[in-house]
Structure 1
């Protein structure tokens, strides 16, 4: 059954209703008065693409190539708001004038920029919001960074954001799991242009942070397509729904026109591997003009090649299980389009979306020549299986924005899908002996999501000191599939039916492992095609009692077809004690629905005990195995969030300090493996012919407390010289407050979620992460230096010993030179002092290397060059 046509019908119905409303609103709309002018910078140069809005409404325009603008205003007593990336926001009262020329001042500080996420008011800047929001100007960062993908760019500028590159972790080598404040990858909601983004179809299983979680693959969005990233560091389930326990990342795509920007980026480690090559281009053009509003189409294409690295342990020093240990090889192609077209004086049609294809190749653990999983006639020296993936990601979002009697209305439909297809190369199926192929199609999975929403928002300028009311509804459908690989990728050809002790059983006549070594394929019994629906309704209000005091409140009700209902609320406030100092805080409840992958993912591989074949499984939550053993059905994770902080401005110095508290009950994790020798459920496993089983379950309660500090100072010397200093830190403490086993397994906490797994969960973020950035620009030169400190992390190895990764520092340096207005060259180094994490015993680490994956990475020094062109 394919339920998507039902959603299409709903969308068409909503669309027709909105068109009727828009038509009626347009007929009664007042023409108003015309205001025009020009916007310049401090050097009297025209600024193209400056947003000019009538405060408190959705009416507005952007400046053309000469900096000119013209728009209709409801009355000549209104206020115009001018905003532009890299410049201070400016408000100007019209005061009966028909022409207004404005000079915008450049500003390194992002705190005055209008935000999309965290507030549905169009009149709120970062310092005016009651919660913590980071505004990250990606295009500015790219100019002085050797990081080429979005995950790593954010890792080195946002202290609360953490990402790990994995090795030897199956699918997680191909999609980097990322977190905010050390919470789960699936506890952060990702938006594109304010619309919900679909997650990756991958669920992290082996040797990784975020084990048992799904997440959103940010690297499917090329950095060249992004104008800025907004990170809401506060629980927002009441505003945006599921997945927003830790916060929200909103990626705002570029909308520039009449400008081509492109770059060639390349680099290599000082070990001579890990070569990177990136080619990208971005161009936008105008698309129609109506009532002072200009349409646009902005397009980006990006290709990124990242070669593998190899940092194996010295076999003369250590017993070594892996000859290949390091980052995976990856080829990533992406294209993104962002467009808007005015269709009436009050309305605009918009669309954005893209396609991403990633081809990856990662080494699994070594099979030695004498291993019984090897066939010496095929690999006389043993072999290193390579897990490859073909990841296809596609998305399209389209909608209509309109203003109906001062209500801003947004009707939208967003579709996205992610397909993860495994191939295994340089391997074999040992049960086929000399006849085994060396390459297999191992199957995979796919996740599709379609979201239809209608949102209404209105700013009441004359109620209190200003009030914004928003409400809306969202209908979402999700579909999850697992598809099988070829037979040889999963079958053991040595198994035959035989009678043992009067019972018909399967017996292994060869004693050889079946399936593709490194990653066994999904078999037909694993295949599934499941879906669910969800409908949500929210109301959101922001009340300015005065210019100094405001309160925001939100409530959201959601109903899921598979587990039921949830209601969440949020209160937030901001109090400006002076023009330069304000207190802010929030209190909210949150939730996260179990993902379809957590409910239905299942995997089976065959092992042998005394020559008899037994299945080892990750059992789906709805499977007969799970039900027989009394594992309960998954339910939502529930959270309580609180924050308290302040913002301060003193001349060129700004500071934001925010403390936070996140208490989460019933977090979903993957349990340890229960063997068929277990004294409680072992007999049940034996009766099912299952040698070992793992489950997804709501097993863990956690409490996270922390502090975010961001200090920024900028100073201009003359016309061209500018210094910016920033110190940002995240201090994070997570504790596990409860392990929730079933009544039957109350004495099995060490297997259910033992200390080893607990430490992996806690290490999702270091206890402290601090970055100091100094950026100096003068006469066409730009020098940028970053010092990063990663706090100490403790993990438990396979021997039950603590592996301590001591606190460590990395240093980046970049020097950029502009040649006129169109060309710039950057030379730089990442980790220029070639610092590595604390070495461990590779025999006992999770990854089989000298280090487990930690936030600072294990690649060493990387040198790079970037050539940027702007036309």
Structure 2
């Protein structure tokens, strides 16, 4: 296939009548070349980037054009040019450094405003969200990144309680809470949800990326490197920086609809999961350099159902198994108000409201958890969510005696309310209600920061110094549900709402902590070819003490087209408040005596009785080494190997019961029959490599962009850390299923080949994604009874056409050949379906149409 594409490309290029447009882009302040600058032909889907020497080449038909030239940290310009009918047209362009480091968000991974992505000592992906969303079927941020960034992994869950409503995501196969998320360079709060059951990222509290509408995002920067010494806790795996739109005087709007083609749905309905999205974005200019940009977004997604697996007894599997029904509404803003030439006020943020209905496990008609007079055929409980998420940031940036100064505050809140419907409380008998308020939790975070950055142009070949401080306040609450959602009215029957028992008053809490961080971050170009950077960060937490971490980075330009780079750092991640304080209780009655099934709070009576130590921070050692290269005209290659060793990872243990002799007395004295808890249970080692090969070429009168991105990843558990009392039960402390869950945060390999061809008003995208093999242990707990999901390849195809400069249409499909993970026994898999939520997901082919407007 690749040989055919190359042959056709050469043939079309040889017969084309396009003319060459050559040029060089430089920094106006020192006349140095700008590698990685973007040149776009305004009004057409044509463009290129500069090479390591700042040079570019475009093949265009004769005629007048307008070029838009941009580079991170520089002011963009529009330049008219006329391509002559004979010979080569040459144009040289100089960009002014942006005076308002001020209006541009710093590229993640470096506080040097003069550092470009191609110049960075650490690997960074920059994803243009507008280009991605215009041509692909995915609508939310998690799924967009799942199929664009090979080191990023996210799968929709089913039968996983809260994780059905908040998709867990990971970077480089590490935990969802080991990746720090920023918005416009400011720390974004995490979700209040800690994932518990039937899910990847079990025991983690990640950031809910889907609260931010893709229509509000200009680009996403992914730093694939440990950065705790630069940005603080949670940055062990890397950093994702979401940059909001700042454009003005243009209205963009999109109407998107798609649905799944169900290959394995064994009823008359073969199409389900309808997904409607409507969004609009507009910006107003304020003064000379100010703006206000607003985005409204509404998304409605219907259920999918992939239950009723052939060959399995229907009484042993779920009747409803698939994606939850979700409505997601967002309003986001990004603003800047100039005060003087060197000072401006900024503000950004938004609100997201999400309501979801997710399938719980089936209760059969003759089950002791059913009341036949209410549900004669049994029932399928629905776990509902009502999620309210908000972010608001404001601050001032200025230049003070040569220093770029940023003083700002960002506040975030995430509240998750559970409900249960199509359910009952068996202990209430026939009078039981069918809907319940089951309680929930809330996380709030406030971060105030003061940052200083200065570039000394004449020191060595350039010296950048940054330092600053951040003060963070966090608050976590659990609130109880209504009494009927948890109480046993008849002690001989099961208590609480079926599907999800409510939180009890004994679970309710209100806990807070504070954190102070101080950092210094320097980068020095010792020569024009050799750069070295160093960063250090001290943090003190009110609940567990202090930590000091450092980072060294370097970059060596061997030639204008070849560069070596590497980093070495230590890192940490503070256990989230949810991991420290989360607790839940299910009350059962045995012989009239109340006994409890608990997820016990760390530091509570149960964990103290079992000798479980208080949670402490995870610590890490990160190393990366790689190179970037220009292989010739239009070719670029980056290769980065990485090593991450994490000590004292926080996980949720398996269940310990009062049938275990060494701990039976302790549990019986507390009336606890089963318990599990969060603890620093394991140490892990992750090794991997990222490879990105890209090519840009003029093919006929159009342009072909080809990229091949690959991630190879291996995670091993080095040790399991138990205490003396629980050492005999090491296999429960971190059991077989938990071991495979940790390893399955990412497939061992993921490859993405994308061919993107644009010509005149047409654009075509063809993408192949190969997911490596995934292994999971099932409910039998037998070491030899492992569910193996063999490697699979999905194919995406889309065709786009612009009817006018103001209106365009894209149609296509994701996973057009309807590929599924390997099928397994539904009565043994973790999720209770024929497939666990792995690789490309469980829904099959998705067909879509997108109508976009731009005025």
TM > 0.5: yes
Residue in 2 that maps onto 1:789: 770
Residue in 1 that maps onto 2:257: 266
Q: For 2:581 and 2:138, locate their aligned partners in 1 and report how far apart those are by CA, in whole Å.
A: 36
Task: Please state how far the C-alpha of 1:613 moved relative to its aligned partner.
Answer: 2.9
Select 2:721's aligned residue among 725, 740, 744.
740
After superposition, give the CA deviation of every residue in 1:670-710 in whole Å (9 maximum; x if it has no partner): 00110011111111101110001111000010000000000
Select 1:621's aligned residue among 584, 592, 602.
602
Label 1:587 to 1:103 Cα distance change in 2 as closer, same or farther (>3 A). Answer: closer
Residue in 2 that maps onto 1:692: 674
**TM-score, normalised by the number of residues in structure 1:** 0.86
Q: What are the equivalent positions in structure 2 for 1:84-163 lying under 5 Å apart?
A: 84=76, 102=93, 116-163=107-154
Select 1:825's aligned residue among 782, 805, 809.
809
Q: For 1:479 and 1:157, locate their aligned partners in 2 and report how far apart those are by CA, in whole Å.
A: 34
Does 2:331 correspond to 1:332? no
CA contact (8 A) 2:138 2:144 kept: yes
**TM-score, normalised by the number of residues in structure 2:** 0.87
Contiguous gaps of at least 5 residues in structure 1: 1-31, 33-38, 48-65, 70-78, 88-99, 105-112, 495-507
Q: Does the residue aligned with 2:135 lie in a helix, a strand or coil?
A: coil
Q: Does the residue aligned with 2:220 lie in a helix, a strand or coil?
A: strand
Residue in 2 that maps onto 1:165: 156
Q: Which of 653-662 and 601-610 deviates more? A: 601-610
Residue in 1 that maps onto 2:24: none
CA contact (8 A) 2:222 2:241 kept: yes
Residue in 2 that maps onto 1:710: 692
Task: Please state how far the C-alpha of 1:852 moved relative to its aligned partner.
Answer: 1.1
After superposition, give the CA deviation of every residue in 1:182-218 in whole Å (9 maximum; x if it has no partner): 1000000000000000000000010111111100000
Residue in 2 that maps onto 1:642: 623
CA contact (8 A) 1:419 1:446 kept: yes
Q: Does the residue aligned with 2:842 lie in a helix, a strand or coil?
A: coil
Residue in 2 that maps onto 1:221: 212
Residue in 2 that maps onto 1:60: none
Does 2:172 correspond to 1:194? no
Residue in 2 that maps onto 1:846: 830
Q: For 1:697 and 1:316, locate their aligned partners in 2 and report how far apart those are by CA, in whole Å.
A: 40
Does 2:742 correspond to 1:761? yes
CA contact (8 A) 1:115 1:125 kept: no
Residue in 2 that maps onto 1:295: 290
Select 1:651's aligned residue among 633, 646, 661.
633
Task: Please state how far the C-alpha of 1:67 moved relative to its aligned partner.
Answer: 10
Residue in 2 that maps onto 1:248: 239
Residue in 2 that maps onto 1:107: none
CA contact (8 A) 1:222 1:334 kept: yes
> How many pairs are equivalent?
767
Q: Does the residue aligned with 2:568 lie in a helix, a strand or coil?
A: strand
Task: Please state how far the C-alpha of 1:114 moved relative to its aligned partner.
Answer: 8.9
Residue in 2 that maps onto 1:277: 276
Residue in 2 that maps onto 1:286: 285
Q: For 1:43 and 1:691, locate their aligned partners in 2 and report how far apart those are by CA, in whole Å.
A: 68
Question: What's the C-alpha RMSD, in Å, of the aligned pairs?
Answer: 2.2
Task: Please state how far the C-alpha of 1:819 moved relative to its aligned partner.
Answer: 1.1
Residue in 2 that maps onto 1:577: 558
CA contact (8 A) 2:41 2:67 kept: no
After the TM superposition, list the runs of 4 or more consecutive aligned residues in structure 1 that deviate by more than 6 angstroms: 39-42, 44-47, 66-69
CA contact (8 A) 1:296 1:340 kept: yes
Contiguous gaps of at least 5 residues in structure 2: 1-28, 30-36, 46-65, 80-90, 96-103, 262-269
Task: Please state how far the C-alpha of 1:622 moved relative to its aligned partner.
Answer: 2.1
Task: Please state how far the C-alpha of 1:318 moved relative to its aligned partner.
Answer: 3.6
Residue in 2 that maps onto 1:835: 819
Does 2:227 correspond to 1:236? yes
Q: For 2:460 and 2:495, locate their aligned partners in 1 and report how far apart those are by CA, in whole Å.
A: 72
Label 1:329 to 1:114 Cα distance change in 2 as closer, same or farther (>3 A). Answer: closer
Residue in 1 that maps onto 2:650: 668
CA contact (8 A) 1:164 1:176 kept: yes
Residue in 2 that maps onto 1:406: 402
Label 1:612 to 1:455 Cα distance change in 2 as closer, same or farther (>3 A). Answer: same
Q: For 1:570 and 1:863, locate their aligned partners in 2 and report how far apart those are by CA, in whole Å.
A: 46
Label 1:693 to 1:41 Cα distance change in 2 as closer, same or farther (>3 A). Answer: closer
After superposition, give the CA deviation of every residue in 1:561-608 in whole Å (9 maximum; x if it has no partner): 000000000000000000000000000000000100000000000124
After superposition, give the CA deviation of every residue in 1:38-81 in whole Å (9 maximum; x if it has no partner): x997768899xxxxxxxxxxxxxxxxxx9999xxxxxxxxx997
CA contact (8 A) 2:40 2:68 kept: no
Q: What are the equivalent positions in structure 2 for 1:493-512 lying under 5 Å apart?
A: 493-494=489-490, 508=491, 511-512=492-493
CA contact (8 A) 1:40 1:67 kept: no
Does 2:301 correspond to 1:306? yes
Select 2:572's aligned residue among 591, 605, 608.
591
Task: Please state how far the C-alpha of 1:102 moved relative to its aligned partner.
Answer: 4.2
Residue in 1 that maps onto 2:499: 518
